Amino acid sequence: MTLSTPFLSYKGFNQSEDIDYSQRKNLSEENFWKLIRKDYLLKKDYVNLENGYYCFIPQPTLNKYLEHVKRINFEGSYYMRNQLDLDKRKTAERLSNLVNCDKYELAITRNTTESLDLIISGFPWEKNDEAIFAMQDYGSMQEMFKLTAKRRGIINKIISVPNHPKNDEEIVSLYEQQITKKTKLIMVSHMINITGQILPVKKICEMAHSYNIDVLVDGAHCVGHIDVDIKDLNCDYYGSSLHKWLSAPLGTGLLFVKKEKISKIEPILAGHVHQRDNIMRLNHIGTHPVHSDLAINDALDYLNSIGLKRKENRLRYLQRYWSDKLRSKRNIIINTPLENFRSCGIANIGVKNKTPDELSKILFKEYGIFTVAIDYANVKGCRITPNIYTNEKELDYFVESIIKITSN
């Protein structure tokens, strides 16, 4: 008797062809960005100027992502046992090319929080060691330092970065002034999330290393937004969220650890890799949504179809398009530095006599513009984050709305 083998009649899962983006290259600048806008499914309810939390996925990447979900569901454990590690290493290698580091120095994580908390909690702290960071850094990273102070007895020194620094040296010296013989780690935001200010990370690293102090960089907003060159920055640790400006699916991030620092850090979760200098020792997270990791490749393809430099230029252009029109107006305060190299797509605007909360509510309820209010760490205003689908018409409308609000 022959056994029936149902799987032999299975057609299997057919993945679609790679998307050919090459025709786009020849389009004029205007038509190029019009086409990009068409790649996004946009809600008509409001103008979305709050892409900083999550840069949702353009349709070509989303379709690929859904295919990965189906494929992984089709292949099940077979994929997990045979292909997962290989695919993840390949993706990590592509990411390492994007941020310019060695492929063995980069691991895929779920987000910046995981990447940075791993370093903060896994650092070889001794009682009374000191850490320096800024009150403008992301709240939950500051909380992690506070938790580490409770658990391990470290001392946190918190500086304040001015919204309009005179020069790089002013910022570097703010960190330097807090250094003592006990200082072991400085955390720096590459781009401050509430104002969009880009900090002189390379200079801070040079200064810190001259005291033998490690630097952890919060690059949550940088990968896929600006040209991140980790070798050039010469930091020791770098974390980013890929669901932000790379427009990869939610729950994707990266961690860079300089080769010679890997053995210094202890993992949060214990895994099966025990070689001290292998970054995978730090990367055990158990079973997780691997289809999201696969779609990082599609997000990279999409980014390549634009070109990182072109995307960075576009995001800076969009920010300057609205902020230049408002910066010198009465009753308006732009909380983001003017120089091009100190910001890119993100900026923050405050209006005199209105709290940030009032401003964001007026913008949303009366004008249909979605932003986020920021009211702490010497920053009072709404964070404005267009994305590459944003067009000038929307920004003209935002500018007109702000002018109306300030003249009322």
Ligand X SMILES: Cc1ncc(COP(=O)(O)O)c(C=O)c1O
Q: From CA 266, how far away is CA 269, in angstroms rounded?
A: 9
Query: Could you tell me the smallest distance in angstroms from the CB atom of residue 357 to ligand X?
Result: 19
- Range in contact with ligand X (rule: CB under 6 A) among 71-79, 146-154, 214-222, 314-322: 214-222
Size of the site for ligand X (CB under 6 A): 11
Q: Which helix (H) or strand (E) holds 280?
A: none
- Range in contact with ligand X (rule: CB under 6 A) among 88-96, 111-119, 274-282, 320-328: 111-119
Query: Could you tell me the smallest distance in angstroms from the CB atom of residue 75 to ligand X?
Result: 28
Which of 111/121 has CB closer to ligand X? 111
Residue 136 touching ligand X (CB under 6 A): no
Q: What residue type is assigned to position 365 of the chain?
A: K
Query: Could you tell me the smallest distance in angstroms from the CB atom of residue 263 to ligand X?
Result: 25
Which structure tokens are listed for 332? 């308006």
Contacts (CB under 6 A) with ligand X, residues 262-301: none
Which residues, 6+ apart, have CB-to-CB distance to 383 below 8 Å? 50, 52, 193, 194, 195, 196, 346, 347, 348, 371, 372, 374
Residue 235 touching ligand X (CB under 6 A): no
What are phi and psi for residue 270, nearest 5 degrees?
A: -80, 135
Q: From CA 283, how far away is CA 88, in angstroms rounded?
A: 11
Residue 112 touching ligand X (CB under 6 A): yes
- Range in contact with ligand X (rule: CB under 6 A) among 108-116, 200-208, 297-305, 354-362: 108-116
Contacts (CB under 6 A) with ligand X, residues 44-63: 53
Binding mask 386-405 for ligand X (x = CB under 6 A): --------------------
- Range in contact with ligand X (rule: CB under 6 A) among 216-224, 298-306, 362-370, 396-404: 216-224
Query: Could you tell me the smallest distance in angstroms from the CB atom of residue 286 to ligand X?
Result: 18
Query: Could you tell me the smallest distance in angstroms from the CB atom of residue 366 to ligand X?
Result: 27
Which of 61/385 has CB closer to ligand X? 385
Q: From CA 254, how far away is CA 393, in angstroms rounded?
A: 35
Helix (H, G, I), strand (E, B) or coil at 340: helix
Residue 142 touching ligand X (CB under 6 A): no
Which residues, 6+ apart, have CB-to-CB distance to 392 below 8 Å? 321
Residue 189 touching ligand X (CB under 6 A): yes
Pick from 138, 175, 238, 245: which binds ligand X (CB under 6 A)? 138
Q: Phi-psi category of 47—alpha, beta or left, where left has phi over 0 and alpha has psi -120 to 50?
A: beta
Q: From CA 379, how far away is CA 162, in angstroms rounded?
A: 9
Pick from 96, 142, 241, 343: which binds ligand X (CB under 6 A)? 241
The answer to whether 165 and 208 have CB atoms below 8 angstroms apart is: no
Query: Could you tell me the smallest distance in angstroms from the CB atom of residue 193 to ligand X?
Result: 3
Pick from 91, 96, 113, 323: which binds ligand X (CB under 6 A)? 113
Residue 193 touching ligand X (CB under 6 A): yes
Cα 153 from chain centre: 30
Which of 136/305 has CB closer to ligand X? 136
Which residues, 6+ apart, have CB-to-CB distance to 4 below 8 Å? none
Query: Could you tell me the smallest distance in angstroms from the CB atom of residue 65 to ligand X?
Result: 17
Distances (CA, A) of 289 to 72, 73, 293: 9, 11, 7
Nearest to 155 by CA among 173, 137, 181: 181
Query: Could you tell me the smallest distance in angstroms from the CB atom of residue 139 to ligand X?
Result: 9
Which residues, 6+ apart, have CB-to-CB distance to 296 below 8 Å? 91, 94, 95, 108, 242, 246, 248, 252
Q: From CA 191, how far away is CA 340, in angstroms rounded?
A: 13
Interaction site with ligand X (CB under 6 A): 53, 111-113, 138, 189, 193, 218, 220-221, 241
